[in-house]
Amino acid sequence: MIEDLEQASTRLLVSQLDQIGIKPSKVRRNLQVQELVDIIVQKNEGTLTANKAISVKTGKYTGRSPDDRYIVDDDLTHGTVDWGKVNHPFPSDRFDRLFEKMKRHLEKREIFVFDGFVGADKEHRLPIRIITDHAWQNLFVRQLFIRPTAEELESHKPEYTVFAINDFKAIPEDDGTRTDVFIMLNYSKKIVLIGGTPYAGEIKKSMFSVMNYQLPQKGVFPMHCSANIGRNGDTALFFGLSGTGKTTLSADSNRMLIGDDEHGWSDRGVFNFEGGCYAKCINLNRDAEPQIWDAIRFGTVLENVVVDKETMMPNFNDSSLTENTRAAYPIDYIPGAVIPSLGGNPSVIIFLTADAFGVMPPIAKLTKEGAMYHFMSGYTSKLAGTERGITEPKATFSECFGAPFMSRHASVYAKLLGEKITKHNTTVYLVNTGWSGGPYGIGKRMNINHTRRMVTAALNGELAKVSYRHDAVFNLDVPTECSGVPSEVLNPRNTWSEKDAYDNSAKKLAQMFVENFKKFGSVSGEITDAGPRA
């Protein structure tokens, strides 16, 4: 009976594909993990490691290609998308021609289909279909997105379809793209085209971009953050760009994980967009990150992790392929993960920044206006490997802690943040996971155990009971004590041997904040005044 249902379902899928002009030689839909692992090994797409994970390499594309990401400019998007350096417009007719070429490319080829969902909250979840030309990417999306039940799969009707066809490349002079790589978002036709790059993070982030465009008009705040719940039912959020510590700090043995990267905040609370985790694992070790270490097992996809040829064990300390090594695994690989991935309205929010200047305090408490200012600013350092061409930390301002994925103006998201903070009396902290004792190359990366202790103190209310000093340059309230953290660490100036050098670097960064914020135009004086003082 089950086999008959599967055959009928496959026939329906083939018919649906035929209606839009796609005629593959074979369609494999929602295969189980073991089936996919067997195909991946058989096709030499990847290898099995000693701990039974699948190891794959993505060639020269070991990070996202943000300059090759486009949004179709049409009647729907022309006045609603924040066009500029991040959101590149693409003509609708050129999109149609490129899609037709991709369809012809898929003729007589085997494809892999995943039907599932984005969004754990059923009121706001998005039914999706992802079509790939490689089995390992089908395993990746199966682990990363929300997997349907057998009943849900039978009645599944995708609202968005993603075509991630690695072997299809654009011809720039014919197709109007910058290179042969493209990530093309069509919000009107609800289609995403990805070609030329095998880096699987492009699939994940394309759907994040879709949710960031759709949810604000429903009054739901889409967020580039991780989330967890304490034993008392208190929900916490961790905002930050890739590599700043969202996954590491939210994977806490004393708290239950909701999700590690992408969430929505509705009137009912927080919900994860995904059904898995995409953890950065360079220099991963069991003592510092035991939950992530133990999650790397059968069914996990290791992306660009070097594997020892003799032992077949992953070498997480080897960055010869990229600093941006990744592990993709389902969220239930984390002990005590919340399933379905839902939480209440957060009591604490943590903004994470990796300051390469080494001058930001390790933790500071923000007012609502300060939270909106730093959310819009999104200061951090792009860490090595997260984008092609980034080989060492580079100071950057990425509004909303996720500018590469935010289609609307930053003020749209900041307004939602301010409303949520006020309505739910949420406390916000700014945490620096970057450098201390000097800038990158001189100072050292912030001690992870110190950071964990400060975050714990923020979550359990300890920091509500200590005294604060005001940092006049960054206009921040900094705690003068935190149990388990040396007092000199709390004042970054004290960690520098050259105090004048610290002062000059701090003033330089404050000026960068001021100059960057000018790009937002007319913003409330209360928000502008909450930022650093040049």
Q: Residues 183-202: pLDDT tens digits?
A: 999 999 999 999 999 999 99
Catalytic residue among 29, 129, 224, 374: 224
Among the ranges given (122-126, 128-132, 185-189, 286-290), the one the predictor scored with the smallest mean pLDDT: 286-290
Six token digits for residue 452: 């964990």
Looking at the structure, tell me whether residues 161 and 235 fall in a common domain.
no
Please report whether residue 261 resides in a domain: yes
Shared domain check, 225 and 214: no
Which of 142, 326, 374, 388 is an active site residue?
326
Would residue 175 show up in a list of annotated catalytic residues for this protein? no
Residue range 304-317, pLDDT digits in tens: 999 999 999 999 99
Question: In this model, does residue 144 exceed pLDDT 90?
Answer: yes
DSSP string, 10-51: HHHHHHHHHHTT---SEEEES--HHHHHHHHHHTTS-EE-TT
Domain of residue 427, CATH code: 3.90.228.20
Model confidence at 245, pLDDT cuts 50, 70, 90, reads confident
Question: What is the C-alpha separation between 382 and 340, in angstroms, rounded?
Answer: 32
Given the residues 77, 161, 209, 242, the one annotated as active site:
242
> The domain containing residue 19 runs over which residues?
2-30+66-218
- CATH classification at residue 84: 3.40.449.10
Residue 242: pLDDT band (50, 70, 90) is confident
Question: Residue 359 pLDDT > 50, yes or no?
Answer: yes
- 193 and 241 fall within a common domain: no
Write the single-letter amino acid at 245.
G
Active site residue 64: yes
Known active-site residue 205 = yes
Based on the fold, state whether residues 246 and 392 are members of the same structural domain: yes
Assigned domain for 503 exists: no
* Residues 459-487 pLDDT 10s: 999 999 999 999 999 999 999 999 999 99
* Partners of residue 143 on adjacent β-strands: none
Does some domain include residue 160?
A: yes
Between the CA atoms of 449, 453, 459 and 460, what dihedral angle is there, to the nearest 10 degrees? 140
Asked if the structure places residue 433 within a domain, the reply is yes
Question: pLDDT tens-digit profile of 381-409?
Answer: 865 555 555 555 677 899 999 999 999 99
Give residue 523's pLDDT.
86
Number of domains in the chain: 2
**Residue 326: active-site member:** yes
Task: Place 452 in a pLDDT band, splitting at 50, 70 and 90.
Answer: very high
Residues 247 and 192 in one domain: no
Q: State mean pLDDT over 354-361.
A: 94
Cβ count near 381 (within 10 Å): 23
Starting at the edge strand that comes first in sequence, how are the strands of the sheet with 326-330 ordered? 47-48, 54-56, 301-303, 326-330, 276-280
Least confident segment among 31-40, 55-64, 515-524:
515-524
* 47 within domain boundaries: no
The domain boundary residue, chosen from 218, 235, 252: 218
Q: Is pLDDT of 86 > 70?
A: yes
Whether 137 and 269 share a structural domain: no
Is residue 370 within 8 Å of residue 308, measured between CB atoms? no
Question: What is the structure's pLDDT at 336?
Answer: 87
Residues 258 and 358 in one domain: yes
Residue 129: both structure tokens together: 């279909």
Same domain membership, residue 476 and residue 403: yes
Per cent of the chain over pLDDT 70 is 96
The predicted pLDDT at position 2 comes to 40
pLDDT band at 10 (very low <50, low <70, confident <90, very high): confident
Please indicate, yes or no, whether residues 166 and 226 belong to a single structural domain of this protein.
no
Position 7 pLDDT exceeds 80:
no
- Catalytic member of 134, 204, 246, 382: 246
Among 218, 252, 268, residue at a domain's last position: 218
pLDDT at 276 > cutoff 80:
yes
pLDDT at 125 over 50: yes
Residue 532 is encoded by which pair of tokens? 């650093």
Q: Residue 21's pLDDT is what? A: 85
Quick one: average pLDDT of 102-129?
96
Catalytic residue, chosen from 147, 205, 255, 420, is 205
- Which residues face 279 on adjacent strands? 327
Cα–Cα distance measured from residue 461 to residue 147, given in angstroms and rounded to the nearest whole number: 36
Return phi, psi of residue 384, to 5°: -55, 130
- Residue 517 DSSP code: H
Q: What is the mean pLDDT of the chain?
A: 93
Distance (Å, whole) CA 198 – CA 184: 15
- Whether residue 143 lies inside any domain: the answer is yes
SS3 356: coil
- Report how far residue 137's alpha carbon sits from residue 160's, in angstroms, rounded to the nearest whole number: 18
Q: Which two three-digit tokens encode residue 251?
A: 């994977």
Shared-domain flag, residues 197 and 248: no
Question: Who wins on pLDDT, 511 or 6?
Answer: 511
- Among candidate residues 64, 142, 280, 409, the one labeled active-site is 64
| Domain finish residue from 202, 218, 234 | 218
Of 330-334, 368-372, 500-504, 523-527, the one with minimum mean pLDDT is: 523-527
Instruction: Decide if pLDDT at 5 tops 50.
Output: no
Q: Are residues 260 and 166 in the same domain?
A: no
Residues 261 and 351 both lie in one domain: yes
Print burial letters for 138-160: b (CB count within 10 Å at least 16), e (below 16): bbbbbbbbbbbeeeebeebebeb
Give catalytic status of residue 246 as yes or no.
Answer: yes
190 is catalytic: no
Q: Which of 293-302, 380-389, 496-505, 524-533 has the lowest mean pLDDT?
A: 380-389
465 burial class (0-12, 13-18, 19+ CB within 10 angstroms)? Answer: exposed
Question: Does residue 309 form part of some domain?
Answer: no
Residue 134 is among the residues annotated as catalytic for this protein: no
373 occurs within a structural domain:
yes
Q: Is 436 a catalytic residue?
A: no
Dihedral of CA 483/486/489/493: which sign?
positive
The residue annotated as part of the active site, out of 175, 234, 252, 261, is: 261
CA–CA separation, 304 vs 318, rounded Å?
Answer: 10
